[in-house]
Amino acid sequence: MKIEITDINLKALFLGDKGENVDIFKELLLKMIDEHVGWRQNYQPQDTPVISPFDKSSESFNNTVDHVRSVFNELSSKLRSKSLPWHTAGRFWGHMNSETLMPAIIAYTAATLWNGNNVAYESSPGTSEMEEEVGHELATLMGYQEDKGWGHICADGSIANLEGLWYARNLKSLPLAIKEVAPEHVEGKSEWQLLNMSTKEILEIMDKIPDKLDEVKAHSARSGRHLQKLGKWIIPQTKHYSWLKAADIIGIGLDNVVSIDVDHNYRMDIDKLEAKIRELAAQEIPVLGVVGVIGTTEEGQIDRVDKIVNLRDKLAKEGIYFYIHIDAAYGGYARAIFIDENNEFIDYDKLDKVYKKYGVFQEKNEWLTEDIYNSFKAMSQVETITVDPHKMGYIPYSAGAITVKDSRMRDAISYFATYVFEKGADIPALLGAYILEGSKAGATAAAVWTAHKVLPLNVMGYGKLMGASIEGAFHFYHFLKDREFHVNGKTIKVYPLTKPDFNMIDYVFNEVGNTDLGVMNKLNHDFFGHASYAKGGLYYNEFLTSHTDFAVPDYGNSPLPFVKSLGFSEEEWAREQKVTVLRASAMSPYVNDKEVFDEYAVKIEAAIQTKLETIYNDYQQA
Amino acid sequence: MKIEITDINLKALFLGDKGENVDIFKELLLKMIDEHVGWRQNYQPQDTPVISPFDKSSESFNNTVDHVRSVFNELSSKLRSKSLPWHTAGRFWGHMNSETLMPAIIAYTAATLWNGNNVAYESSPGTSEMEEEVGHELATLMGYQEDKGWGHICADGSIANLEGLWYARNLKSLPLAIKEVAPEHVEGKSEWQLLNMSTKEILEIMDKIPDKLDEVKAHSARSGRHLQKLGKWIIPQTKHYSWLKAADIIGIGLDNVVSIDVDHNYRMDIDKLEAKIRELAAQEIPVLGVVGVIGTTEEGQIDRVDKIVNLRDKLAKEGIYFYIHIDAAYGGYARAIFIDENNEFIDYDKLDKVYKKYGVFQEKNEWLTEDIYNSFKAMSQVETITVDPHKMGYIPYSAGAITVKDSRMRDAISYFATYVFEKGADIPALLGAYILEGSKAGATAAAVWTAHKVLPLNVMGYGKLMGASIEGAFHFYHFLKDREFHVNGKTIKVYPLTKPDFNMIDYVFNEVGNTDLGVMNKLNHDFFGHASYAKGGLYYNEFLTSHTDFAVPDYGNSPLPFVKSLGFSEEEWAREQKVTVLRASAMSPYVNDKEVFDEYAVKIEAAIQTKLETIYNDYQQA
């Protein structure tokens, strides 16, 4: 009997802030271990065990086991004294981490006992099939056509982004290679036109010349040629350093990276994007590609992917084409909140009804705007997307992933002809020939596969978990907004940076009346010191957060409206050149429950009060 | 009381071919789980558990748990029906996999409960410290100076190799950048001279201009310029496809990859290497770097690193310098077999005494030659080395690593100034700024750290495990050599490819009297079919192996002496263009025991006989 679960209880999927579900954890873990051991015992049961009872009672054996036990005492002590309490229901409001899904942890451990290497199907049939399944699920989640999209797990978002850039670079160079190898297919096209062919056009030509595939590839960017012709790689001003690394590694270089200002919502300014592309085009400088971000690392903001896509389509009519890669490492799984049981993207005006039906939000959906909805919806229109299971997939590290709109694109980066795909199964015999990495844990695929089975990638499954996280984030946002603390006769107020696009809240403390930006920055930096590992005693800390700096070299003047809204002058900004903000990725799956949140609100208010008092007392004594 | 263990019993470190040590496995795993749960419970014990007894007895909770249980039934079935029996003591002679160290599996699982992300110290103090420790241990294992060397864990060997090439590319470009930014430091040098400066010279100049570091970096290869000037990247003819990918990704391109023939031992031909470098120099084409391999993927052979190093030093006197990267992904851990308790490289003539003292070999050390010894010894003289814990480190996937001879080299690829290193601790605050990847599992570091604590990286620890694997491989080698099978009146003989340099044995079956190379290739390919997943029924298969093809496009005529030794003519080779060989990475930690091997020898002989009979019967019926 298989029952369709429409009312998943998220509390059954985590170990629990106090380990409440350790009974279930042990039950399933031990079951998997026992079933594994049974499998070992029954593989050629005529073979007697190689480790005999005499071995096990020998002195050296027992000394070795005691030695191992001692090492585990040391390991346990180190882990318990130097780790972060992500698991707390309501006291950790910092880094992008939290409890992870209990089934994923168990599945990872179980699969490790078999230790498949998904680099090749031959050495890991079971987990290779799971990775292929997971890749297709993620591609479908992104709205890619089921028979065309593809995806795979990779080490992390930086690797996925690098692979996206590799796709873009090699694809963009194909027309130059075709011109050299099969010029009749691009007859009459200028270099500018060759460098502005759409991905679709390129793939259609490639389809026509299967016998020249290897030769065309040999003439592409993989040869080392053409790299400096391919144009600019455009990223948002909130640029993550992984994009600088990626441009360095891939050889197009930092000189070809262009960043576009963000608007006051910390989303890429699409007008400025268009202006920049037109400015480049006027100089016949092509655009290799544009990166949009779904869930920026520092602010959790959602770029207007729909507008980037519309711009691409508009400019295409003018003979300008750019590749789009979406870095949805953080926010990608949140697309599940828009997907119904039939993998259809739900109409905007039907969402509230669906959310009510499945209990996605406990109180209300105050989060969603049409902007955000449209951004998520348009993801299906881009070439590649990074989406990390180890972020909003609630999978333990390391599990990144990339999805590809059209699996034919693989030929731009592959190292073997397509015949190494198994017939029919569409599973590569050597996955390593189609991805950036080589050897890779089958266990990661098992963990993600299990999580996707437990929580389907739609509104009933992951959507519900996303809702819980976002609703909890909004509770925290309202808790912070305009809250005042009174310390030594002074009033310290809290100001969130923006209404969040997702589940991340950036905020600052400022003393009422303070007009010195340096003083505010110091206060927030000091607060971070008391709410992080920096001062030691992590395990006794009652409120934890993270911090970041928005400084002119990276952010330009984008923070200025926020800074001015706090009463600082433009001169202050010009002098200080940065604003230090506190940053909370609200991933706890528990504080969507308003009662739970309110219980913690009292505690974290008191903890913040104590920290501020300590800081102000230190100031007085200094 | 801490006892120094000088007599480690390897049988206490694995789960066991029949799960014999499941008691110890469960004991330690449950201890770690309980200690983790206790930690959760006692972080702010005033917080009541968020998952209440009422939650746990609710219908939705119990339905969800049943749903999870069903998913685990499916997972368990998939793993048990589509996985490989690496764990068998003596029936798996194929891919580079085996049992992995039980303590590593447990440590990984334990650390996953805390789920640290080693990208930043702040989010994972404990496991970040473990990674730093492990990195230094591996650097020391490679013979790098303790206060200079550095290393870190990465996803796999392909990523480590790519990172090595990234180091080489950016370092090699620094003199061109210095010429642009601080020309007084390279005054009078021609471009040829700039491109032939040694790593040591480059780092010494960089040390003199700390205030110009960022500007020099901005003018280096990371800008996207200079890439085509840097010269050729030289790899052995046995080129692993990961090197082609790496050259593609890093932007120097396949056109700049040069491969050097291997000799009849499948090691890089150093005379040909020298000739090629001189030929390039005569055209003023620099050599970006040379890759040597310690443990080739297909043959397990050991390149003459000492000769590569000597060649570099000799040519440096003529103004020609090249970077050396050693791909010791497979064989790197084997350097432990030469390291004594004080981290000193043991003298060649003292080795047998030491091996006897610590029981490294049960019978005799027939493996080692002075060539191999010198190759391992010279590793300390090269810039970067890949060494994968998930290969001969017996750690579960995914755990690769790279080591760096001089930590100052990091500046060539880093994204932040050195101040982000914690004072004194020498641990990067943001490891992600110094490596190719970003987010990474702290659990991997915990697994490797625990394994290194259990088995120190010297002759008493990992050395003993390496010895067990090599001795087992030699038992298999002798078992195969000249063995005959009689089927349907025909005699089929087994021929190993070479005396192995390490623990990998390549071999072929050939029918006595057969002079048709195609027929032999078919026989071995068919044999593989019956000794792998290909024919299904993996779990019932009594003997498993892997295979590979040595074909002219990759190997040139290197296999010709072997092929001729089997009685085939040169014409046959010219017609067939390849030889199909069977391949066994002998990683079982149990079959060094001759009694155990002999028990299995009877069984695998019978299994091979049966497979050959099936194949020949099929031939007859066809």
pLDDT digits (tens, 9 = 90+) for A235-254: 998 777 889 999 999 999 99
Cα angle for residues B565, B568, B572 (degrees, 5° grid): 140
pLDDT in tens, A466-495: 999 999 999 999 999 999 999 999 999 999
- Average pLDDT, integer, range A598-603: 97
Q: Are B49 and A16 in contact (CB under 8 A)?
A: yes
Assess B41–A contact: CB distance below 8 Å, yes or no.
Answer: yes
Whether residues B439 and B493 share a domain: the answer is no
CB atoms closer than 10 angstroms to residue B191: 13
Verify whether the Cβ–Cβ distance B114 to A70 is below 8 Å: no
Cα A81 from Cα A234, distance rounded (Å): 43
pLDDT in tens, A550-580: 999 888 899 999 999 999 999 999 999 999 9
Query: Does residue A5 carry a pLDDT above 80?
Result: no
Whether residues B442 and B485 share a domain: the answer is no
Report residue A293: phi and psi, to 5°.
Answer: -120, 130
Verify whether the Cβ–Cβ distance A37 to B56 is below 8 Å: no
Whether residues B415 and B478 share a domain: the answer is no
**Structure token pair of residue A534:** 């920096």
Assess B602–A contact: CB distance below 8 Å, yes or no.
Answer: no
Amino acid at B74: E
Q: Are A268 and A323 in contact (CB under 8 A)?
A: no
**B324: helix, coil or strand?**
strand
> How would you classify the pairing of strands A92-93 and A150-154?
unpaired
Assess A364–B contact: CB distance below 8 Å, yes or no.
Answer: no
Whether residues B413 and B483 share a domain: the answer is no
Whether residues B473 and B450 share a domain: the answer is no
- Domain presence at residue A484: no
Q: What is the mean pLDDT of chain A?
A: 95
Query: Does residue A196 carry a pLDDT above 80?
Result: yes
Assess B26–A contact: CB distance below 8 Å, yes or no.
Answer: yes
- Domain presence at residue A394: yes
> What are the Cα distances from residue A616, in Å, to A484, A486, A581?
15, 11, 18
**Structure token pair of residue B598:** 């002999």
What is the pLDDT, as a whole number, of residue A422?
Answer: 47
Q: Which helix (H) or strand (E) holds A494?
A: strand A490-496
Q: Are A445 and A128 in contact (CB under 8 A)?
A: yes
A132-148 CB burial, b ≥16 within 10 A, e <16: bbbbbbbbbbbbbeeee
CATH number of the CATH domain containing B150: 3.40.640.10
Whether residues B320 and B175 share a domain: the answer is yes
Query: Does residue A205 carry a pLDDT above 70?
Result: yes
Mark which residues 425-444 of A lie under 8 Å from B by CB: 432-433, 436-444
**Domain end residue (candidates: B454, B489, B508):** B454
What is the pLDDT, as a whole number, of residue B423?
Answer: 45
B163-189 CB burial, b ≥16 within 10 A, e <16: bbbbbbbbbbbbbbbbbbbbeebbeeb
Verify whether the Cβ–Cβ distance B397 to A18 is below 8 Å: no
- Average pLDDT, integer, range A76-98: 95
> How would you classify the pairing of strands B150-154 and B400-404?
antiparallel
What is the pLDDT, as a whole number, of residue A1?
Answer: 47
Cα B510 from Cα B404, distance rounded (Å): 45
> How would you classify the pairing of strands B232-236 and B287-293?
parallel
Whether residues B534 and B608 share a domain: the answer is yes
Assess B506–A contact: CB distance below 8 Å, yes or no.
Answer: no
Residue-number span of the structural domain to which B478 is assigned: 468-621
**B546: helix, coil or strand?**
strand
Enumerate the active-site residues of A. Answer: 419
Q: Could you tell me how many residues make up chain B? A: 622
**Structure token pair of residue B586:** 């002998």
Q: Which helix (H) or strand (E) holds A403?
A: strand A400-404
Cβ-Cβ contacts under 8 Å, A76 against chain B = 31-32, 35, 110
Identity of the residue in A122, A228, A433 whose CB atom sits nearest the CB atom of B533: A122
Assess B281–A contact: CB distance below 8 Å, yes or no.
Answer: no
Residue-wise DSSP of A191-236? HHHHTT--HHHHHHHHHH-GGGHHHHHHHSGGGT-SGGGS-EEEEE
Cβ-Cβ contacts under 8 Å, A596 against chain B = 50
Number of domains in chain B: 2
Contacts of residue A54, Cβ cutoff 8 Å, sequence gap at least 6: none
- Average pLDDT, integer, range A222-247: 92
Whether residues B519 and B559 share a domain: the answer is yes
CA distance A352 to chain B (A): 22
- Domain presence at residue A464: no
**B200: helix, coil or strand?**
helix
Please name which of A192, A308, A195 lies closest in space to residue A260, comparing C-alpha atoms. A308
Nearest residue of chain B to residue A169 (CA atoms): B249
Verify whether the Cβ–Cβ distance B11 to A91 is below 8 Å: no
pLDDT in tens, A516-537: 999 999 999 999 999 988 777 7
- Domain presence at residue B80: no
Whether residues B509 and B576 share a domain: the answer is yes
Mark which residues 102-121 of B lie under 8 Å from A by CB: 103, 105-117, 119
Task: Give residue A367's pLDDT band: very low, low, confident or very high (50, 70, 90).
Answer: very high
Residue B338's Cβ-side half-sphere holds a number of Cα atoms within 13 Å equal to 25
Assess B6–A contact: CB distance below 8 Å, yes or no.
Answer: no
Identify from B2, B5, B79 which residue to disrupt to test chain A contact, counting A C-beta atoms within 10 A and taking the largest count.
Answer: B79
Assess B456–A contact: CB distance below 8 Å, yes or no.
Answer: no
- Domain presence at residue A535: no
Please name which of A300, A230, A298, A238 lies closest in space to residue A269, comparing C-alpha atoms. A238
Assess B334–A contact: CB distance below 8 Å, yes or no.
Answer: no
Contacts of residue A281, Cβ cutoff 8 Å, sequence gap at least 6: A287, A320
What is the pLDDT, as a whole number, of residue B522?
Answer: 97
Assess A237–B contact: CB distance below 8 Å, yes or no.
Answer: no
Mark which residues 49-68 of B lie under 8 Å from A by CB: 49-51, 55-56, 58, 60-68
Cα A615 from Cα A525, distance rounded (Å): 11
pLDDT in tens, A422-465: 444 567 888 999 999 999 999 999 999 999 999 999 999 999 99
Identity of the residue in B25, B72, B241 whose CB atom sits nearest the CB atom of A28: B72
Mark which residues 539-598 of B lie under 8 Å from A by CB: 539, 542, 546, 590, 596
- Domain presence at residue A490: no
- Domain presence at residue A393: yes
Identity of the residue in B2, B21, B35 whose CB atom sits nearest the CB atom of A80: B35
Cβ-Cβ contacts under 8 Å, B31 against chain A = 72, 76
> What are the Cα distances from residue B545, in Å, to A327, B173, B529, B617?
41, 45, 9, 21
Verify whether the Cβ–Cβ distance A82 to B223 is below 8 Å: no
Q: How far apart are the first and last CA of chain B?
A: 70
CATH number of the CATH domain containing B519: 3.90.1150
Identity of the residue in A13, A397, A438 whose CB atom sits nearest the CB atom of B158: A438
CA distance B329 to chain A (A): 11
CA distance B310 to chain A (A): 30
Cα B509 from Cα B482, distance rounded (Å): 10
**Structure token pair of residue A136:** 């297709």
Assess A25–B contact: CB distance below 8 Å, yes or no.
Answer: yes
Identity of the residue in B29, B126, B436 whose CB atom sits nearest the CB atom of A249: B436
- Domain presence at residue B462: no
Nearest residue of chain B to residue A78 (CA atoms): B126
Catalytic, out of B266, B373, B419, B600: B419
Cα A439 from Cα B100, distance rounded (Å): 15
**Domain end residue (candidates: B392, B424, B454):** B454
How many beta-carbon contacts under 8 Å exist across A and B?
508
Verify whether the Cβ–Cβ distance A20 to B51 is below 8 Å: yes
CB atoms closer than 10 angstroms to residue B280: 18
What is the pLDDT, as a whole number, of residue B394?
Answer: 98
pLDDT in tens, B499-556: 999 999 999 999 999 999 999 999 999 999 999 887 777 889 999 999 999 999 888 8
Verify whether the Cβ–Cβ distance B117 to A24 is below 8 Å: no
Assess B184–A contact: CB distance below 8 Å, yes or no.
Answer: no
Whether residues B256 and B318 share a domain: the answer is yes
Whether residues B474 and B598 share a domain: the answer is yes
Cβ-Cβ contacts under 8 Å, A116 against chain B = 83-84, 397
Whether residues B193 and B157 share a domain: the answer is yes
- Ranges of chain B with pLDDT below 70: 1-4, 417-426
Q: Could you tell me how many residues make up chain A? A: 622
What is the pLDDT, as a whole number, of residue B129?
Answer: 96
Nearest residue of chain A to residue B429 (CA atoms): A534
Cα B354 from Cα B333, distance rounded (Å): 18
Identity of the residue in B11, B80, B223 whose CB atom sits nearest the CB atom of A39: B80
Nearest residue of chain A to residue B18 (CA atoms): A41
Cα B590 from Cα B85, distance rounded (Å): 15
Cβ-Cβ contacts under 8 Å, B131 against chain A = none
Assess B71–A contact: CB distance below 8 Å, yes or no.
Answer: yes
Cα A270 from Cα A292, distance rounded (Å): 10
Identity of the residue in A117, A155, A450 whose CB atom sits nearest the CB atom of B71: A450
What is the pLDDT, as a whole number, of residue B416?
Answer: 74
B558-595 CB burial, b ≥16 within 10 A, e <16: bbbebbeebebeeebbeebebbbbbbbbbbbbbbbbee
- Average pLDDT, integer, range A579-607: 97
Cα A198 from Cα A617, distance rounded (Å): 62
